[in-house]
């Protein structure tokens, strides 16, 4: 069974697209009629990109969890909402029906309330991929608290920064998390993050690994004990808080080209509408389908396409605790066969890594339940696209290449599975409501083709419902980052190509943001972390092409004295020290793949590092480094070239 606003043909896509651009307010208000509101809106859209100010469904009142849970209960109460596959395939999986999930969310909403959480409070969630994570997120939304989920791979320092930035008073965490053979002590990381913190009042801890944890009287409480109290009172409902359409739903921190990560803020109504609409249309979800998105809920993909998009559509969403290569590289394929998964949504980096294991782990798996495949997070190379198509989709499943960002909340450019044409390594056409435009460095629309395609910086001309609303606590930062580069345009930070037919191909970031295994990392952030090492004088970080990760991190480091003659051991040991430092400051995901010690960095006379040159060297280019005559010390380039790793 399909949905009333599901696009069923290419012609309908064209017609809906046109309607959405001609009259966005009419288009989205018609779709909004299909949701549950406590009060209807008086103004569908009010915006300007100058401030920026973006308001959708002004005047409306709602709670997103009533749309994700309550409204499905009558007809779909017994339908699985969440299937949970544990890290260890020997352990029992869990299935929560819509009714069960509703009850659990309501119970935990009571727990939040009993512990003092009120509407508008910030709750930091730092957990592994267990159902309690989904429950905690939804319970925050139900009580009107703003969740800020922090990916389990971030360090105590990163959490401390995020807690402070959001002025979060509450934390929900677990004792530990399983990932493959590892057991990660999350609560202990939280304890480190809380040293010196005077703002956090309560930490709610659920047990997963039953790792020993310190529980501080008055601050730390056990999830299970708190739930018991609610159960004793027989409470299985919790009235959903009435939220304004534009009230913030969550904060999610993401890296930019400068300074510390910023807290991207999404609002309740627009985000709900757009994640739901894109979920139903891009994946062509049919009731009863099993949707498996392999992302972590610590990233936007998990927020939008494990939780809010699928649940608001009454879908069955599969949540996987482990990793694709443990106990072996056939884990995804096992899961697909075990639950008869219909939609698989994963990242190019996962596909490339699994490709590396050959076809052995794929053989012996049926995979015939699959109907649609998807990718997200980075450009997919043609080889990986075809491997996915041939060996997983067996050439009968459309692949959707979905381009979007934390800031966009949902998918902006993608083919619609089986409805609009796919083109290997192209994200293809914009979703209804999305007006992409390619501009040159001055902001003028690209009018001339180069090698048969338009080439430029990717911007969006008008707001879609889940446009970023602000960066938490610093609206000016939101303006300068996204809306000030070009007048009246949202700037994505990506470069793109456009063909004759209006298809887009994303070529990658044009700013100083790296995309490592689909994770966004700012070069400035990594440099700051490396520079924290006592003996590092200066560093410069660039990306380089990496077969599996897409991009690797290449660091050029000036080490005090000489790295070769010092009292701290060999260059390799010093590299390990630097890795430790980065792991402490950001997390293991930001560890440089290569560290080259240099005696100087190529700088202009005004002292600016010429990253362009370093990028070329890291990419293996030795000849065409461009003009180096303006450098303070051109000799340093030769040295760096000769020492390339």
- Sites of contact with ligand WTA (CB under 6 A): 254, 299-301, 376-379, 401-406, 427, 492-494, 506, 508-509, 515, 520
Nearer to ligand WTA, 377 or 522 (CB): 377
Contact (Cβ atoms closer than 8 angstroms) between residue 538 and residue 549: no
CA atoms within 13 A on the CB side of 151: 22
Nearer to ligand WTA, 316 or 406 (CB): 406
Contact (Cβ atoms closer than 8 angstroms) between residue 273 and residue 465: yes
Contact (Cβ atoms closer than 8 angstroms) between residue 456 and residue 495: yes
Q: How far apart are CA 198 and CA 355, in angstroms?
A: 48
Q: How far apart are CA 611 and CA 476, in angstroms?
A: 27
Give min distance, CB of 17 to ligand WTA, in A: 19
SS3 612: helix
Cα torsion angle, 28, 33, 35, 37, sign: positive
Give min distance, CB of 375 to ligand WTA, in A: 6
Nearer to ligand WTA, 302 or 433 (CB): 302
Give min distance, CB of 76 to ligand WTA, in A: 28
Nearer to ligand WTA, 117 or 273 (CB): 273
Nearer to ligand WTA, 132 or 401 (CB): 401
In terms of Cα–Cα distance, which of 463, 376, 414 is closest to 13? 414
Nearer to ligand WTA, 21 or 510 (CB): 510
In terms of Cα–Cα distance, which of 378, 330, 339 is closest to 358? 330
Residue 14 C-alpha from the chain's centroid: 29
Q: How far apart are CA 386 and CA 425, in angstroms?
A: 9
Contact (Cβ atoms closer than 8 angstroms) between residue 141 and residue 121: no
Contact (Cβ atoms closer than 8 angstroms) between residue 89 and residue 334: yes
Nearer to ligand WTA, 361 or 493 (CB): 493
Give min distance, CB of 378 to ligand WTA, in A: 5
Give min distance, CB of 481 to ligand WTA, in A: 12
Cα torsion angle, 90, 96, 101, 104, sign: negative
For the chain, the distance separating the N- and C-terminal CA atoms, rounded to the nearest angstrom, is: 56
Contact (Cβ atoms closer than 8 angstroms) between residue 244 and residue 41: no
Residue 455 C-alpha from the chain's centroid: 26
Nearer to ligand WTA, 546 or 641 (CB): 546
Give min distance, CB of 300 to ligand WTA, in A: 5
Give min distance, CB of 285 to ligand WTA, in A: 18
Give min distance, CB of 495 to ligand WTA, in A: 9
Q: How far apart are CA 473 and CA 476, in angstroms?
A: 9
In terms of Cα–Cα distance, which of 356, 407, 377 is closest to 547? 356
Give min distance, CB of 406 to ligand WTA, in A: 3
Nearer to ligand WTA, 506 or 631 (CB): 506
Give min distance, CB of 403 to ligand WTA, in A: 4
Contacts 24+ apart (CB under 8 A), 607-610: 607/632, 609/540
Pairing verdict, β 220-222 and 170-174: unpaired
What phi and psi, each to the nearest 5 degrees, are found at residue 130?
A: -120, 160
Q: How far apart are CA 206 and CA 127, in angstroms?
A: 9
Give min distance, CB of 632 to ligand WTA, in A: 32
Give min distance, CB of 520 to ligand WTA, in A: 5
Q: Where are the alpha helices (DSSP H) in 67-209?
A: 71-76, 98-114, 131-143, 156-166, 186-193
Nearer to ligand WTA, 267 or 515 (CB): 515
Nearer to ligand WTA, 377 or 398 (CB): 377
Q: Which letter does DSSP use for residue 585 in this model?
A: H
Give min distance, CB of 411 to ligand WTA, in A: 8
Give min distance, CB of 255 to ligand WTA, in A: 8
SS3 390: helix
**CA triplet 522, 525, 528: central angle to 5 degrees?**
150
Residue with token string 């005077």: 198
Tell me the sheet residues that pair with 173: 126, 205
Nearer to ligand WTA, 206 or 405 (CB): 405
Contact (Cβ atoms closer than 8 angstroms) between residue 257 and residue 512: yes
Nearer to ligand WTA, 312 or 457 (CB): 457
Nearer to ligand WTA, 433 or 602 (CB): 433
For the record, the structure tokens of 161 come out as 């920064």
Give min distance, CB of 414 to ligand WTA, in A: 7
Nearer to ligand WTA, 61 or 262 (CB): 262
Nearer to ligand WTA, 300 or 311 (CB): 300
Find the length of the chain: 645
Q: How far apart are CA 119 and CA 122, in angstroms?
A: 9
Give min distance, CB of 306 to ligand WTA, in A: 12
Pairing verdict, β 182-184 and 177-179: antiparallel
Pairing verdict, β 80-85 and 94-97: antiparallel
């Amino acid at each position: 069974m399909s949905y009333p606003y599901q696009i069923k043909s290419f012609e309908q896509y064209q017609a809906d697209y046109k309607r959405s651009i001609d009259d966005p307010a009419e288009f989205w208000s018609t779709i909004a009629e299909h949701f549950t509101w406590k009060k209807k809106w008086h103004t569908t859209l009010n915006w300007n990109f100058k401030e920026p100010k973006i308001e959708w469904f002004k005047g409306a009142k709602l709670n997103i969890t009533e749309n994700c849970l309550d409204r499905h209960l009558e007809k779909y109460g017994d339908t699985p909402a969440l299937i949970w596959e544990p890290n260890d395939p020997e352990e029992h999986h869990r299935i929560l029906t819509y009714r069960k999930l509703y009850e659990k969310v309501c119970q935990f909403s009571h727990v939040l309330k009993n512990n003092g959480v009120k509407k508008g409070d910030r709750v930091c969630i730092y957990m592994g991929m267990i159902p309690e994570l989904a429950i905690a997120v939804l319970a925050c939304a139900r009580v009107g608290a703003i969740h800020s989920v922090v990916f389990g791979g971030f360090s105590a320092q990163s959490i401390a920064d995020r807690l402070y930035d959001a002025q979060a008073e509450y934390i929900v965490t677990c004792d530990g998390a399983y990932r493959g053979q590892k057991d990660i002590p999350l609560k202990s990381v939280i304890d480190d993050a809380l040293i010196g913190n005077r703002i956090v009042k309560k930490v709610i801890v659920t047990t997963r690994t039953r790792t020993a944890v310190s529980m501080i009287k008055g601050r730390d409480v056990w999830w299970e004990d708190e739930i018991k109290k609610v159960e004793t009172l027989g409470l299985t409902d919790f009235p959903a808080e009435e939220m304004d359409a534009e009230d913030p739903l969550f904060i999610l921190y993401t890296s930019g080209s400068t300074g510390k990560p910023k807290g991207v803020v999404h609002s309740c109504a627009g985000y709900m509408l757009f994640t739901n609409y894109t979920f139903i249309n891009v994946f062509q979800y049919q009731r009863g389908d099993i949707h498996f998105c392999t992302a972590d809920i610590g990233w936007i993909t998990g927020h939008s396409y494990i939780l809010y998009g699928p649940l608001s559509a009454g879908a069955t969403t599969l949540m996987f605790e482990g990793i694709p290569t443990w106990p072996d590289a056939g884990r995804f394929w096992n899961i697909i066969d075990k639950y008869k998964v219909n939609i698989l949504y994963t990242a190019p980096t996962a596909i490339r890594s699994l490709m590396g294991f050959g076809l052995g782990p794929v053989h012996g798996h049926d995979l015939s339940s699959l109907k649609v495949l998807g990718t997200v997070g980075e450009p997919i190379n043609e080889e990986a696209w075809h491997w996915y198509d041939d060996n997983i989709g067996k050439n009968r499943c459309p692949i959707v290449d979905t381009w979007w960002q934390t800031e966009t909340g949902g998918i902006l450019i993608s083919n619609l599975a089986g409805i609009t044409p796919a083109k290997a390594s192209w994200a293809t056409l914009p979703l209804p409501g999305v007006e992409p435009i390619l501009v040159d460095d001055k902001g003028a629309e690209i009018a001339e083709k180069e090698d048969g395609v338009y080439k430029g910086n990717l911007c969006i001309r008008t707001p879609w419902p889940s446009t970023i609303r602000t960066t938490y606590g610093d609206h000016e930062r939101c303006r300068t980052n996204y809306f000030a580069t070009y007048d009246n345009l949202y700037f994505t930070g990506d470069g793109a190509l456009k063909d004759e037919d209006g298809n887009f191909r994303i070529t990658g970031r044009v700013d100083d943001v790296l995309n490592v295994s689909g994770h966004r990392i700012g070069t400035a952030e990594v440099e700051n972390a490396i520079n924290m090492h006592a003996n590092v004088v200066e560093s410069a970080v660039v990306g380089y092409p990496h077969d599996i990760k897409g991009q690797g991190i290449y660091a050029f480091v000036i080490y005090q004295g000489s790295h070769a003659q010092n009292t701290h051991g060999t260059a390799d040991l010093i590299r390990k020290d630097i890795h430790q430092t980065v792991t402490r400051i950001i997390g293991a995901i930001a560890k440089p793949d290569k560290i080259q010690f240099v005696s100087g960095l190529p700088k202009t006379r005004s002292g600016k590092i010429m990253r362009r040159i370093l990028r070329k060297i890291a990419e293996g280019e030795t000849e065409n480094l461009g003009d180096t005559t303006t450098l303070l010390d051109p000799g340093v380039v030769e040295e760096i070239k000769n020492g390339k790793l």
